[in-house]
């Protein structure tokens, strides 16, 4: 995303926080230039398993840090773009979720993301909350790990939603930022995920069939140990972001090979950063 923003006319001041869970909230004044118009918190948290294993860390990264940024932005006339996820919902709705549906989280990650959303709406009128679908990279890594260990991969076919790739998410954020820079007063909550709803079992099969994934991996339709963290339905309706910003959903399947290549280049680690622009 940083590369995309740097290629525009925008003046971007990147900030990489190596350990957001232990960030010094009192140091924001030293981190963020005083002439900043928009803070883009690009820390994408979309793995509820990680959150369950580190509840204190996710509280800091998903709630305390963004709220501190919102207070900082409010006091200095800045705006904030904050990422959230489909995990703010409990999955009980039969159809897709719209932006105005209230959150009912069923896991630690969703809980703090929903609390963060509510706090931002109260603290900072000039905010953009962008909820995303599943992290495509997360499930590619699951397939890679099962392949390396020679294990069967259990994925729950009962859970449906839409993945989104890192590159596609960067495209969306860039489009939003550029329109805000043009003076668009369109603050509020938006949702984005890749086109085509799918269940996790079928997603695993699609990933297992990619070039570069060794043949012979077995993907089964079963609920794994972490399955209770996944809402049955995380499908997001993305018409608001299309109607407001003209951002269309891209098929997540078209980004599968690119996402796999990116993960291999980064040794299976997603690059997370928090630029202020």
CA distance 91 to 192: 17
CA distance 74 to 124: 6
Looking at residue 124, what is its pLDDT?
98
Higher pLDDT, 274 or 146: 146
CA distance 239 to 43: 24
Residue 269 has pLDDT above 60, yes or no: no
Contacts of 263 (CB under 8 A, 6+ apart): 137, 140, 141, 144, 269, 270
Contact between 271 and 182 under an 8 Å Cβ cutoff? The reply is no
Looking at residue 267, what is its pLDDT?
66
Residue 72 has pLDDT above 70, yes or no: yes
Contact between 187 and 232 under an 8 Å Cβ cutoff? The reply is no
Domains and CATH numbers, the chain: 2-135+165-195+235-265 (3.40.50.720)
From the list 268, 277, 276, 272, the residue with the least C-alpha distance to 18 is: 272
Q: How far is CA 54 from CA 49, 102, 232, in A?
A: 9, 25, 23
CA distance 151 to 171: 35
Residues 219-248 pLDDT 10s: 999 999 999 999 999 999 999 999 999 999
Q: How far is CA 181 from CA 163, 215, 227, in A?
A: 28, 47, 41
DSSP letters spanning the chain: -HHHHHTSSS--B----S-GGG--GGGHHHHS-TT-SEEEE------HHHHHH-HHHHHIIIIIHHHHHHHHHHHTT-EEEEEEEGGGS-S--SSPBPTTSPP---SHHHHHHHHHHHHHHHH-SSEEEEEE-EEHHHHHHHHHHHHHHT-PEEE-TT-EE-EE-HHHHHHHHHHHHHHHHTT----EEEEE--BS-EEHHHHHHHHHTSTTSPTT--EEE---GGGGGS-SB--B--HHHHHHH--PPPBGGGGHHHHHHHHHHTTT-------B-
CA distance 70 to 62: 13
> How many residues comprise the chain?
277
Residues 9-57 pLDDT 10s: 877 777 777 788 888 888 899 899 999 999 999 999 999 999 999 999 9
Residues 90-124 pLDDT 10s: 999 999 999 999 999 999 999 999 999 999 999 99
From the list 114, 112, 129, the residue with the least C-alpha distance to 58 is: 112
Looking at residue 273, what is its pLDDT?
37
């Amino acid at each position: 995303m940083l590369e995309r923003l740097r290629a525009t006319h925008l003046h971007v001041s990147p900030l990489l926080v190596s350990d957001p869970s232990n960030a010094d909230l009192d140091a924001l004044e030293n981190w963020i230039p005083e002439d900043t118009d928009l803070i883009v918190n690009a820390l994408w948290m979309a793995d509820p398993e990680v959150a369950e294993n580190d509840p204190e860390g996710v509280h800091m990264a998903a709630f305390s840090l963004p709220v501190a940024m919102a207070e900082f932005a409010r006091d200095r006339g800045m705006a904030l773009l904050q990422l959230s996820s489909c995990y703010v919902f409990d999955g009980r709705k039969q159809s897709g979720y719209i932006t105005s549906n209230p959150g009912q989280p069923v896991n630690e990650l969703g809980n703090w993301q929903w609390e963060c959303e509510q706090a931002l709406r109260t603290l900072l009128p000039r905010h953009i909350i962008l909820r995303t679908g599943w992290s495509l990279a997360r499930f590619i890594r699951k397939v890679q790990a099962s392949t390396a260990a020679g294990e069967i991969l259990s994925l729950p076919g009962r859970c449906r939603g839409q993945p989104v790739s890192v590159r596609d998410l960067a495209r969306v954020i860039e489009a939003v930022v550029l329109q805000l820079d043009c003076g668009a007063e369109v603050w509020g909550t938006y949702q984005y995920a890749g086109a085509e709803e799918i269940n996790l079992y079928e997603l695993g099969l699609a990933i297992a069939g990619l070039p570069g994934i060794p043949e012979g991996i077995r993907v089964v339709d079963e609920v794994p140990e972490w399955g209770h963290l996944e809402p049955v339905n995380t499908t997001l309706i993305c018409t608001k972001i299309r109607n407001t910003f003209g951002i269309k959903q891209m098929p997540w399947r078209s980004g599968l090979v690119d996402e796999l290549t990116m993960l291999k280049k980064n040794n299976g680690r997603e690059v997370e950063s928090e630029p202020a622009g």
